[in-house]
Amino acid sequence: MSDEAPTAGPAELPSPAARRRRGPWRTFVFPIAVIAAIAFAIWWLDYRPDGADSPADGRYGPLALPETLAPPGADVAAKKDALAPDFLLQTLDGGDFRLSDYRGRPLVLNFWATWCAPCRKEIPQFVDAYDRFRDGGLVVVGVNLQESKGIVRDYADDFGMEFPIVMDRDGRVGERYRLLGLPMTFFIDRAGVVRSVFAGPFVEQSRGTNVQGAIASSELDQRIAEIME
């Protein structure tokens, strides 16, 4: 009788039937589940609500104009020759922005998003216009539509957007302004009246001709001059 402990033999291989049962899971289902989990994690990090500016925060959104700023029977609407609808939104820096607080100053209200290619083309024009006209009292406001602060902050830094950026997280202000698409821009004078509305991008002239479907940068200046009178 041997005193040696029995040695373990080689591990038994699973039967062909067991390998067939586990094969589809390992080959298809498990990799798909891993990819889906990674995609969800990336989406959550990019688009999760940023604390106080959650769409559930009822403080933010369209507001009625104060009676002192809207005479009885005044036309309040997102259209030419009407008083611009009021709203309260959180800024990218965490403060509050109410449109009616800027009554008395000419204001350009630009609705945009980071995924919007035409917006990307025109933003340098607004940055340049703000730099040139801010000393005359011009206010440029970028209204971002339904994106997270993290995405917007990186984008704003890349483009040097030093004017106020406000977050329309649930899109209700965009609905109030009856957006036809992005970008869309409202030019509001010192009395709070919408003097003009433009749907589409402002793109500067190149080689003496305009980019098809866009407007020359000189017209942006003209529209700004109109509200600064």
Q: What are phi and psi of 16, to 5 degrees?
A: -55, -35
For residues 156 and 151, give the distance between their C-alpha atoms in angstroms, rounded to a whole number.
9
Question: Of 170, 166, 195, which is closest to residue 84 (Cα–Cα)?
Answer: 195
Overall fold of domain 56-227: Glutaredoxin (3.40.30)
Contact 145, 111 (CB under 8 A): yes
In tens, the pLDDT along 86-97 reads 999 999 999 999
Answer yes or no: is pLDDT of 72 > 60.
Answer: yes
Q: Which residues contact 195 (CB under 8 A, 6 or more apart)?
A: 80, 81, 187, 188, 189, 223, 226, 227
Q: Coil, helix or strand for 62? A: strand
Query: At 117, which helix (H) or strand (E)?
Result: helix 117-133
The answer to whether 173 touches 87, Cβ cutoff 8 Å, is yes
> What is the per-residue pLDDT for 103?
97
Confidence of residue 41 (pLDDT cuts 50, 70, 90): very low
Neighbour-count burial of 205, counting CB atoms closer than 10 A to its CB (0-12 exposed, 13-18 middle, 19+ buried): middle
Report the sign of the C-alpha dihedral through residues 97, 101, 105, 110, in that order: positive
What are the tens digits of pLDDT across the range 135-163? 999 999 999 999 999 999 999 999 999 99
CA distances from 133 to 16, 138, 139, 143 (A): 77, 6, 9, 19
Tens digit of each residue's pLDDT (9 = 90 or more) over 189-216: 999 999 999 999 997 655 445 554 555 5
Query: 3-class SS at 170?
Result: coil
Q: What is the pLDDT of residue 152?
A: 98
- Interval 104-117: pLDDT, tens: 999 999 999 999 99
pTM of the model: 0.73
Asked if 107 and 227 touch (Cβ cutoff 8 Å), the reply is yes
Q: Is 89 left (phi over 0), alpha (psi -120 to 50) or beta?
A: beta
